[in-house]
Each structure stands twice: as C-alpha cells, then as structure tokens.
Amino acid sequence: MLFSLATGLRMGNVLGLKWSDVEGHVARIERTKNDEPLTAPLNNLARAVLVHVQGQCPTHVFSYRGRPLKRVNARAWRNLRHTWASWLRQKGVPTWALQGLAGWKSESMANRYAHINVDHLRPFASVLDTLLDTPDFSEELKNALSH
C-alpha cells in the first residue's frame, strides 16, 4: 500500500505490476482502468519499496509467500489514491500534472480525488485583508459596524 501512496496507482495496477514493467525510474502500466497505457515516474519512496520487495517473487512485484497478491482491502486502497492526490495538490502540483501522473482523462477526475484542506486555503482568504486594510476603508468599516 505504501507503493500506491507514493505513486497514486490504482490497486489493480499495483497488484498486477510485474518486474518486467519496472524500468529504471518508471513503471509502465500497459492498461489502466480507462484502457490507456500509463508511464508512472517512480519517486524515492516508490523505489525504496521496490528494493524492499525485490526477490520475493520472480514475476510480480508484490506477492505473499512468493505468489502474486490477488486482493486487498479495496476501500482503504481507494482512500490512498485520494490522499496521494490531495497531498500533491496541497504541495502546489497543478491539475494537469496530477491528471498525467494518475492517468485521468479529465480535469474533473483530478479535482474529484484531490481535496483541499482549509488550512491551505487560509492564505488565499487573507488576500482581501491587504486590499481592505486602508485608512479609508477602515473608517467606513468602523462606521458601518457602529450602526
């Protein structure tokens, strides 16, 4: 599951990932949920996970007792994809990049998965403070509030 959190890949793509799909700093997914291929760049965390599981199964990256994994908790896995997208969005990754990394066909899918934390919105709400923080406006505000 840590690999999915590092890459944003869907459960089916991670469980079906074979060593032959991994090349250097990328994982090549032949067919995603939307029937498109996806080349996923692997960050340091994803590569560390690969090093950790290397040698456990000759064909599949993720296995249990030497055999490819078939199923895991799907709901928890989907939540990881939301977490991954939200973390990237909160770090300023643009929607087009999220869309490309996850293999989504539309911006609306990226927006559905990437949630904004209110703490990340606070600085943008404060922009009005500088606009409204003028002597003339302050006087008008005081007058309006006193009535």
Domains of the chain and any CATH numbers: 2-146 (1.10.443.10)
| Mean pLDDT across the chain | 86
In this prediction, residues 71-98 reach a mean pLDDT of: 87
Higher pLDDT, 17 or 130: 17
Does residue 123 carry a pLDDT above 90?
Answer: no
Mean pLDDT for 106-110 is: 85
What pTM was computed for the model?
A: 0.74
Rounded (5°) CA angle 120-125-126: 105
CA distance 52 to 49: 5
CB 5 within 8 A of CB 23: no
Determine how many CB atoms are found less than 10 A away from the CB of residue 55.
9
